[in-house]
Structure 1
């Protein structure tokens, strides 16, 4: 696997190193030892699959508050997405900055998302599937989200959103929740060991 740290510290793109022959190709998509070599001590607590029937389906921008904050490793296994992460670490020099990555079954790229980041995507093709490895179990009482169209983020989505949940349109603008967001997302040594 080929790890490249993004401009948002701790977030990595992970490209596969395909071994090709007359049968097709084989590639490792996850190896705990290789992740550890980059300081990413990632243990999987949950694996999930997101199927999206329509092009222009948007999910996100989701996160969990500490102490239930999640690390995620996402890969597109069918179709393609425009994937977005947002740094929610108040002490970070890139706080509230976002990064977008094109993930597709064709390019095989994965994205490692650290704790205290929001994550979302819009599908670029019909019948798109994402595979998630998640470092913490889902905690409904710790759920949070940002509006995909929040002007403070300035994400330039590549196409119009055609399908979105009511929950994802109901997230409050950052200007209304930033004080609480900063307080709840602040680094707490007891929560992160």
Structure 2
């Protein structure tokens, strides 16, 4: 297992070591020992899974402290553009977005720390996404940023006019008006 740093501090891509042969493949998607060895000391408490069809856009979501979540995101089937936005007001990359292609094929994972908004778009026919969280879901602490905030300039890999977006996500504020407590 190896870590690929991004240009945003603490936001990393995790690449598992994949063992393949004529039967298929095997890899550890998470190992507390290996994460600890890499300096990532997180205790995950909840797993979430979603299934979406092509054109679905979910996000950008976060939970405020004390229920802020670190997420380890991976794709079980299909492919997505995974996006994280730095909401840490004292960070030099505050308001910057990072995106990466996650797929069942490349097996990459994105570790999204507390202090970030997260979302993804489905660019394959369907996608199953799973993510581990280090904090339980708490409705009262949830917040979000509108996916098409022009200051973020996110390339979701699709025509946003055709995106399938929940009513809740369509009315989220732009980052300048969000209720982030980071």
Q: TM-score range by the shorter chain?
A: over 0.9
The whole-number CA distance in structure 2 between the counterparts of 1:32 and 1:87 is 25
**Paired residue for 1:33?**
33
2:117 is matched with which residue? 118
User: Which aligned runs of 4 or more in structure 1 are off by greater than 2 angstroms?
Assistant: 174-177
Structure 1 residue 22: Cα displacement: 1.8
Q: CA deviation at 1:131?
A: 0.6
Cα distance in 2 between the residues matched to 1:61 and 1:48: 16
Deviation at 1:157, TM superposition (A): 1.9
Matched, 1:163 2:161: no
**Which residue number in structure 2 is paired with residue 175 of structure 1?**
176
Task: Give how far 1:174 is off.
Answer: 2.2
User: Under a length normalisation based on structure 1, what TM-score does the superposition of the two structures give?
Assistant: 0.90
Secondary structure of the corresponding residue to residue 85 of structure 1: strand
Name the CA distance, whole Å, in 2 between partners of 1:42 and 1:56.
Answer: 32
What is the root-mean-square deviation of aligned Cα atoms in Å?
1.1
C-alpha distance in 2 between matches for 1:173 and 1:19: 43
Count residues with an aligned counterpart.
180
* CA deviation vs aligned residue, 1:84-132 (integer Å, no higher than 9, x gap): 0001111111111110000000111111110011000000112210011
2:92 & 2:37 partners in 1: Cα distance?
A: 24
Q: Kindly state the Cα deviation for residue 3 of structure 1 after the two structures are TM-superposed.
A: 1.0
Taking the aligned partners of 2:21 and 2:44, their CA distance within structure 1 comes to: 31
Q: Secondary structure at the match of 2:40?
A: coil
1:176 offset after TM fit, Å?
2.8
* Cα separation, 1, equivalents of 2:26 and 2:128: 20
Distance in 2 (CA, whole Å) between partners of 1:113 and 1:123 is: 18
Q: Which runs of 5+ in 1 are unaligned?
A: 186-193
Q: For structure 2, list consecutive stretches of 5 or more residues without a partner in the other structure.
A: none
Is 1:60 matched with 2:86? no
Q: Secondary structure at the match of 1:77?
A: strand
Q: Using the alignment, how far apart are the partners of 2:158 and 2:138 within structure 1?
A: 31
Query: What does residue 12 of structure 1 align with?
Result: 12
